[in-house]
Amino acid sequence: MRGRKLGGLVAVLAVASGAVYFVSRPSRARETTALRTARLPASPHEIPVGKALPPLVLASDRGQSRALSSFQGAPTLLLFFRASSCPVCRAQLTAFAKEEARFTAAGLQVVAASPDPPPVLAALRGELGLTMSLLSDADEQGVNALCGGLSHCELLADAQGVVRWGAFAESWSHAPGPEALLAAVQPATLVAADQ
């Protein structure tokens, strides 16, 4: 009984601190990814923190359809950028691409989206040597729903596809870079009391 109370207290404290934790039974302790968004700047009110990614379907640079709501099973870093011709956007994508292996090792998938059509995104993939998923938000429904229409936007969604943090800056001069986001996403082995 005491274990149940302690487990409930841990869950309440985790929610109160703004952290998102995934808890497993003690007999099956597992490594999971915890989003520690309290380490990041507060999200602007335009970012729908606490809401699920919308069920919008975007085209990938590889010609496949992908619903934003399908990014479940692992936390997701979603980067919206203005265009493949934007020098600042290209620099930002290159910076995140250099750290993509570390994001993957931390259990996070990285996805980038812009209004560019799939063939332009495919060319961008080749030019920059990107391995992350690239999506075409052609009519900008995704950026409007998630970023208040500002095309330089970073979002963190948990493994259930719920937005937990976001930021935007028209010049990327104030948005956290890869290192800050990596510090907020860490593997953790969490064990709950008997349920």
Q: Which two tokens stand for residue 75?
A: 């936390």
Supply the CATH classification number for the domain 33-186: 3.40.30.10
Selected catalytic residue, list 86, 89, 147, 153: 89
Write the CA distances from 57 to 65, 105, 111, 152, integer angstroms. Answer: 6, 27, 14, 20
> pTM of the predicted model, to two decimals?
0.73
Does residue 89 have an active-site annotation?
A: yes
Residue 69 exposure: Cα atoms within 13 Å on the Cβ side: 7
Q: What is the pLDDT along the chain (195 residues), one digit of tens a residue?
A: 545 444 443 333 333 334 333 333 333 333 445 556 556 777 778 899 999 999 899 999 998 999 988 888 888 999 999 999 999 889 889 988 998 888 888 888 999 999 999 999 999 999 999 999 999 999 999 999 999 888 888 999 998 999 988 888 665 555 667 777 777 665 443 333 333
